[in-house]
Structure 1
Amino acid sequence: MKAKKTFLLVMSFMLVVSILAGCIGNKSTEKNTATETKDEKKSLVVYSNSLSNGRGDWLKEKAAEAGFELELVEAGGGDLFNRLVSEKNNPLADVVFGLTQMDFESLKANDLLIPFKPTWMNEIPEGASEKDNFYHPLVEQRIIMLYNKDVYTKETAPKDWTDLIENEKFKGKYHVPGDLGGATNRAVVYGMLMRHVDKNGDLGISEEGWKDIKTFFNNGYKAPEGEDVNANLASGKVPISFTFSSGLPGIEKEFGFEAGVVSPPIGVPTIVEQVGIINKGKDQDTAAAEDFINWFGSAEVQGAWAEQFGSLPVNTKAVEKATDRMKQIGEITTVQELDYTFISEHIDDWVEKIELEIF
């Protein structure tokens, strides 16, 4: 009887020990699972044409600190847009940023975007986002005409793009786009063409508008392949040129001079780099993409981006972090009012006409 009681006591003790061990094991497992969840990063494939000059490395590093693991895919604007369209039936990207408002309008028309309202919408100017929230603005690039201050003063320099066409003294003194594949070069063209909209005209443009564009290209200087247009500007060889706003500080630093900036009364064409979520189908989980855009477009991150890369953020709270030169450009130039839906519908035909008939 005594032996039986002893046996029962031993078995009871072993059972308690087993239960305790199981509890400890479960807590340990729960702790490990919690740690793994906490350490797990949100993985995203991000397409962009705005990753050059260290931007991609910077973004990847800062995003990792914020809990994102990014696979970045970089290409030029046109190539990136075409890739997104070609992948429509099997989308690989989660997020795209850097393309212009016209490109995003075309992506929307191709049902490649899904709407989303970022947390920072109240920090950007009213009406800056697409009306149905399919895409939102990040960085503003004003397309500005420049002049060499050793050759021209503010009084003798051109006051508008039309001066280059109408005044013979500027003939051969200004750069014209060497091709129309890039967003900046296209902006120069549509900024002038949109002054001559005629719904009954050739491709929506009046005869006078096409005449002006032809004169603009014929009287300008088209740099041969391998020749640096910025070096020409700095040396005075071709003392009038153009660039996108955030590119100016780099030009001035590289060549050791300060360019004059032309501020036409009508304003300057403006490319606004946008961000959006790619439509990957009805079962898509967009939580990570939304979190990334909320983080990337925030005043803190856009301010740091502006400070690091000399951009002009659309986020009004981030503008204070922009460089003095960017703030100055933002103050001395105004934005040309343009119908980007109309431009988006016609730009490819305009480019084709110019390339076939003028170049």
Structure 2
Amino acid sequence: MKIGNRIKWAVLALLALMIIPAAAIASDAKLEEKVVVYSTHGESMLELVADAFEAKTGVEVEFINLKGELADRVRAEKANPQSDVMYGGPSSVYQELKKEDLFVPSTPEWAAKINPLFKDKDGYWYGTIQTPVLMFYNSKMMSKADAPKDWWDLADKKYSNKIVSRNALSSSARATYSALLQQFEKKGELADGWKFLKAMDGNVKRYYGSGSLQFQAVGREEAPLSFAVLNSVVDNKIKNKMPLEIIDAESGSPVITDGIAVIKGAKHPKAAQAFVEFAGGTEAQAMLANKFNRMPTHPAAIEKAPEWMREIKFKVMDVDWGALAVKQSEWMQKWDSEIKDSGKDKK
């Protein structure tokens, strides 16, 4: 063997010795025995993800469903976190909590494959589910010609008593009302945005605290028109045989990103990072797509998702979720105290 080749192989051997231990440390890193997950997702969804993660890693998942109280709970425990992972809730909330120094960054293997719309540029949170919010109507009660063409039509008096809606305790409703307001704010017309919401409120027959009650109201023909996350509309149309038709709003529809993040000060940080890796990966996202109609953010998972997720087309509303994170709480407090049901007695 020539001297040049000997040097070449010696260098390669040295590099191998430098690389192998690092890889071994990464692969042999021992995870903690459990991970605590705070979430807004339903228990059946959480159980599915938890069982699959436990089967893959041996790590026990302790999850708590906190619905609308999730962000407040994470804030309250900042000095002594009781959870390792925040899973679920809209990206606007994640952006708020990032600013409050409540997360640590992570770099899952799939991070680069996710559209920038669905992740934090610094890696503090990632979207695992994309959730379009669309208007829909009961086709037995309303024709396509009579249905609204855009969100702003919901303020038209011809839809008086023809709308049922979720209240602002629903994260999707909060995000939608705020996104609609922002469209006015961007034009310097926020006051007109509040007038629009008040006029829309005047047409709402009733607000509901749960999605199931909302859809039951439309199904039993209490009112023909509403808005909700797309997967819930599809669920009720396919599984419950409801005569629902989706409206592709002319100005687009808000698309909420449900996120996941590792909580700063987590007591089980390695297991937390592993849970984020799993929950945002192709396997878990495709699993939720097929069992719960949740639309993935991961392109490879979309390919394994139900056919309707690839076929349904809708325009996306231009929403600055980062800017919205700063104002959403204030705006929704005003909506709840000054707008909701404010026009009902004047009819």
TM-score category, normalised to shorter length = 0.7 to 0.9
CA contact (8 A) 1:172 1:238 kept: yes
CA contact (8 A) 1:232 1:238 kept: yes
Partners of 2:203 and 2:268 in 1: how far apart?
54
CA contact (8 A) 1:266 1:336 kept: yes
Partners of 1:80 and 1:224 in 2: how far apart?
20
Aligned residues: 311
Partners of 1:239 and 1:133 in 2: how far apart?
42
Greater C-alpha Rg: 1
Q: Which amino acid aligns with 2:164?
A: H
Shift of 1:249: 3.2
CA contact (8 A) 2:90 2:258 kept: yes
The answer on 1:207 being equivalent to 2:203 is: no
1:121-132 to structure 2, matched below 5 A, reads 121-132=111-122
Q: Which amino acid aligns with 2:336?
A: E
Q: Which amino acid aligns with 1:176?
A: S
CA contact (8 A) 2:164 2:214 kept: yes
Q: Secondary structure at the match of 1:96?
A: strand
**1:109-151 residue CA offsets vs partner (Å, 9 max, x unmatched):** 1111011111002321245311111101100111111111122
Q: Which amino acid aligns with 1:89?
A: A
Q: Secondary structure at the match of 2:178?
A: helix
Q: Which amino acid aligns with 1:344?
A: A
Partners of 1:115 and 1:186 in 2: how far apart?
27
Q: Which amino acid aligns with 1:242?
A: F
Cα distance, 1:349–1:41 mapped onto 2, change above 3 Å: closer
TM-score, structure 1 normalization? 0.80
Q: Secondary structure at the match of 2:128?
A: strand
Q: Corresponding residue for 1:338?
A: 319
Shift of 1:285: 6.7
Q: Corresponding residue for 2:164?
A: 175
Q: Corresponding residue for 1:110?
A: 100
Q: Corresponding residue for 2:224?
A: 239
**1:313-338 residue CA offsets vs partner (Å, 9 max, x unmatched):** 0001001222233334xx32122111
| More deviation, 333-342/150-159 | 150-159
CA contact (8 A) 1:143 1:271 kept: yes
Q: Which amino acid aligns with 2:155?
A: I
Partners of 1:212 and 1:94 in 2: how far apart?
41
Partners of 2:209 and 2:325 in 1: how far apart?
29
Partners of 1:89 and 1:43 in 2: how far apart?
21
Partners of 1:38 and 1:114 in 2: how far apart?
19
Shift of 1:40: 8.1
CA contact (8 A) 2:131 2:230 kept: yes
The answer on 1:46 being equivalent to 2:37 is: yes
Partners of 1:97 and 1:224 in 2: how far apart?
24
Higher relative contact order (CA 8 A, sep 6+): 2
CA contact (8 A) 2:102 2:263 kept: yes
CA contact (8 A) 1:46 1:70 kept: yes
Q: Which amino acid aligns with 1:79?
A: E
1:149-160 to structure 2, matched below 5 A, reads 149-160=139-150
Partners of 1:135 and 1:164 in 2: how far apart?
34
Partners of 1:278 and 1:335 in 2: how far apart?
30
| More deviation, 55-64/212-221 | 55-64
Of residues 189, 206, 223, the one that matches 1:222 is 206
The answer on 1:305 being equivalent to 2:294 is: no
Of residues 232, 247, 256, the one that matches 1:262 is 247
RMSD: 2.5
Cα distance, 1:112–1:269 mapped onto 2, change above 3 Å: same
TM-score, structure 2 normalization? 0.82
Of residues 247, 250, 273, the one that matches 2:258 is 273
CA contact (8 A) 2:165 2:208 kept: no
Partners of 2:42 and 2:183 in 1: how far apart?
33
Cα distance, 1:190–1:279 mapped onto 2, change above 3 Å: same
Structure 2: gaps of 5 or more residues: 1-27, 341-347
Partners of 2:42 and 2:208 in 1: how far apart?
27
Shift of 1:235: 3.2
Partners of 2:62 and 2:184 in 1: how far apart?
43
Cα distance, 1:186–1:356 mapped onto 2, change above 3 Å: same
**1:88-127 residue CA offsets vs partner (Å, 9 max, x unmatched):** 0001111111021111111111111011111002321245
Cα distance, 1:128–1:60 mapped onto 2, change above 3 Å: closer
